[in-house]
Amino acid sequence: MKRKIAIAVSTLIVVLLVALVFAGNYFYDQGIKRGTEVKLHSEPAAVNELASEPDQLLLKEAKDWYADQPKNTITMQSYDHLKLKAQFIKNDKSNTHKAIILAHGFRNTGEDMGKYAKFYYDRGFDILLPDARGHGDSEGDYIGYGWHERLDYKDWIKYLIQQHDAEQIILQGNSMGAATVLMTSGEQLPPQVKGIIADSAYSTVKKELSHQLKSIYGLPAFPLLDVTSVIAKIRAGYTLQEASAVKQVKNNEVPLLLIHGDADDLVPTEMAAELSDAASGDNELWIVPDAGHTKAFDNITGEYEAKLSQFLDKVID
């Protein structure tokens, strides 16, 4: 009898382990593997359609301007031998040696950050819009959620300094791109990096995926994300626990502007406060009323640009 019970218990444990491994691979494919279509938790249209007519015109002008600009495609080899691509807009109207790197969000491309380009071009910046590894025209079969990308951004910074004589560099990102630039902030950066702007960043990858797991599937994080983290380590070379913007901003040495909508249902707004509290050095937190995920610029384009100008006036010579 005892032997039968032991066999039954052992069989159940094996079945559960197999099920967990299957589930972990499924969630890896959904959230980390390149190219998988996944529906993120959506926000009500009401928090994303608040722009006044003047702001709508400003946004349209910015998007139209970007679409009309000639762009050079830049290729760079990453530290782990991937070919990474970026679009580069040289500022032909000024030679101020200023540059902006614009970091896109999850399953987007550099093109999605094009709406910010005109603002920076008008202020004398060269503009670099990378496709993150695992996105767009860049190589890579997984998404690093900013963790491996932070090292790619160090190389993009070096590229701007060496190839375009950049003397003052700003990093700006949305969502995953915001987490990427914050993770980059914790690295040893050259003095040419003058400031970082992060819109709708998550604090840690594990916390964000835990939120998504509950929102989309109604499931708890444990033990699924712990198993997925082990699989991510095997298949992508990092764990969900180590990919932390909070940890990185503790070592930050440049001014930060943190932006978050108070109606963000994709990346909880409280993550912005967590990042601000953890950050060393000069940082400002701007919570935008009634804005959903990365929607502050679309909703209040004029005010958003004024906030960016205020920050640039503080950090750029």
User: Do 155 and 193 reside in the same domain of the chain?
Assistant: yes
Specify the higher pLDDT residue, 49 or 239: 239
User: Do 71 and 198 reside in the same domain of the chain?
Assistant: yes
Specify the higher pLDDT residue, 89 or 39: 89
User: Do 79 and 228 reside in the same domain of the chain?
Assistant: no
User: Do 120 and 141 reside in the same domain of the chain?
Assistant: yes
Exposed e or buried b for every residue in 78-112, given b needs 16+ CB within 10 A?
beeebebbbbbbebeeeebbbbbbbbbbbbbbbeb
User: Do 112 and 255 reside in the same domain of the chain?
Assistant: yes
Tell me the average pLDDT across 40-50.
Answer: 63
**Residue-number span of the structural domain to which 219 is assigned:** 1-31+205-238
The pLDDT tens digits for 243-291 are 999 999 999 999 999 999 999 999 999 999 999 999 998 999 999 999 9
Any domain includes 41: no
Average pLDDT score, the chain: 92
The pLDDT tens digits for 143-201 are 999 999 999 999 999 999 999 999 999 999 999 999 999 999 999 999 999 999 999 99
- Residues of the chain with pLDDT > 70, as a percent, come to 89
User: Do 85 and 196 reside in the same domain of the chain?
Assistant: yes
Any domain includes 48: no
User: Do 68 and 2 reside in the same domain of the chain?
Assistant: no
Output the pLDDT for position 218: 87
End position of a domain, from candidates 183, 215, 238: 238
Q: What is the CA radius of gyration of the chain?
A: 21
End position of a domain, from candidates 217, 238, 259: 238
Output the pLDDT for position 47: 57
CATH number at residue 276: 3.40.50.1820
| Number of domains composing the chain | 2
Closest of 314, 312, 313 to residue 170, by C-alpha: 312
Q: At what angle do helices 176-185 and 149-164 cross, to 10 degrees?
A: 70
Output the pLDDT for position 18: 58
